[in-house]
């Protein structure tokens, strides 16, 4: 299923597109980081990316991450993990212990739980807020018109540093509109990190200021589960 060296090759290809797109758009070198989305992929496949030197990964489930990454993190301690899937409040403590960045803070109760575990432990994951830019009922995220206030509450009431915003545009809409909206919200709230862009649209996202692109399929192939 995975020819030898294919992950290495895919990683190099994606990184080369990122670098070219960064240059074309006159962005600073290394201003866009690649989050390799390894959700549903088994440990041996992930290890190929680690052996190829990649150290930044995205997962969408807390328990799956714990299972797959506990020993991998020991073998590759400089690995950084981003949580990119919905987080239940009762898994907030575990998420704080496992992840370096939590990209999916999207409601007060969750923000409060994460803030509490950050204050209670020596773990300091960076926190991003997920914005439901397309206002899709089935999708997680704060509504765009409520995001300014939510950021403010996180910062002032919870002492939770908000360092980034994340969005997943609706599949049937022009992603540029959503990336532009996310950037506007970030700019007026003095937020530096923008997590946007997936396999199908990361060049557009980079054009609109993405600092993290989250890419699964283009590196690991399609997902069957």
Ligand X SMILES: *Cc1c(COP(=O)(O)O)cnc(C)c1O
In the complex, least distance from residue 224 CB atom to ligand X, rounded to whole angstroms: 12
Q: Are 169 and 195 in contact (CB under 8 A)?
A: no
199 is a site residue for ligand X (CB under 6 A): yes
Q: Is 83 in the site for ligand X (CB under 6 A)?
A: no
* Binding track over 151-180 against ligand X, x by CB under 6 A: -----------------x------------
Using CB under 6 A as the binding rule, whether residue 215 contacts ligand X is answered as: yes
Q: Which of 11, 34, 36, 37 binds ligand X (CB under 6 A)?
A: 37
Question: Smallest distance, Å, CB 221 to ligand X?
Answer: 9
E strands present in 14-137 = 33-37, 56-59, 80-83, 101-105, 126-130
Segment near ligand X (CB under 6 A); pick from 70-78, 107-115, 138-146, 196-204: 196-204
Question: Is 214 near ligand X (CB under 6 A)?
Answer: yes
Q: Can you tell me which of 198, 205, 206, 210 binds ligand X, judged by CB under 6 A?
A: 198
Q: Return d(Cα 141, Cα 18) in angstroms, integer.
A: 26
Distance separating alpha carbons of residues 151 and 148, to the nearest angstrom = 5
Q: Binding to ligand X (CB under 6 A): which residues in 104-133?
A: none
Fill in the DSSP letter of residue 27. P
Which residue(s) pair with 142 in the sheet? 131
- Nearest distance from C-beta of residue 198 to ligand X, angstroms: 4
Of the candidates 39, 54, 82, 91, which one interacts with ligand X according to CB under 6 A? 39
How many other C-beta atoms can be found within 10 angstroms of the C-beta atom of residue 193?
Answer: 18
62 binds ligand X (CB under 6 A): no
Taking the alpha carbons at both ends of the chain, their separation in whole angstroms is 15
Span of 20-28, 105-113, 172-180, 210-218 interacting with ligand X by CB under 6 A: 210-218
Residues near ligand X (CB under 6 A): 37, 39, 60, 84-85, 168, 198-200, 214-218
């Amino acid at each position: 299923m995975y020819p030898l060296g294919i992950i290495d090759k895919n990683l190099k290809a994606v990184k080369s597109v990122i670098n070219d797109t960064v240059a074309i758009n006159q962005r600073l070198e290394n201003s866009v980081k690649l989050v390799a989305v390894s959700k549903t992929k088994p440990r041996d496949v992930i290890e190929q990316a680690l052996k190829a030197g990649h150290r930044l990964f995205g997962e969408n489930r807390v328990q799956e991450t714990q299972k797959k990454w506990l020993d991998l993190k020991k073998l590759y301690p400089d690995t950084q993990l981003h949580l990119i899937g919905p987080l239940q409040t009762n898994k907030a403590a575990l998420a704080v212990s496992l992840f370096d960045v939590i990209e999916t803070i999207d409601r007060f109760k969750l923000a409060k739980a994460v803030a509490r575990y950050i204050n209670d432990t020596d773990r300091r994951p960076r926190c991003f807020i997920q914005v439901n830019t397309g206002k899709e009922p089935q999708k997680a995220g704060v509504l765009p018109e409520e995001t300014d206030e939510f950021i403010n509450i996180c910062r002032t009431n919870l002492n939770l540093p908000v360092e980034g915003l994340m969005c997943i545009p609706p599949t049937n809409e022009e992603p540029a509109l959503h990336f532009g909206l996310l950037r506007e919200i970030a700019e007026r709230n003095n937020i530096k990190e923008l997590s946007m862009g997936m396999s199908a649209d990361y060049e557009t996202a980079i054009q609109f200021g993405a600092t993290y692109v989250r890419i699964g399929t283009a590196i690991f192939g399609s997902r069957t589960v």
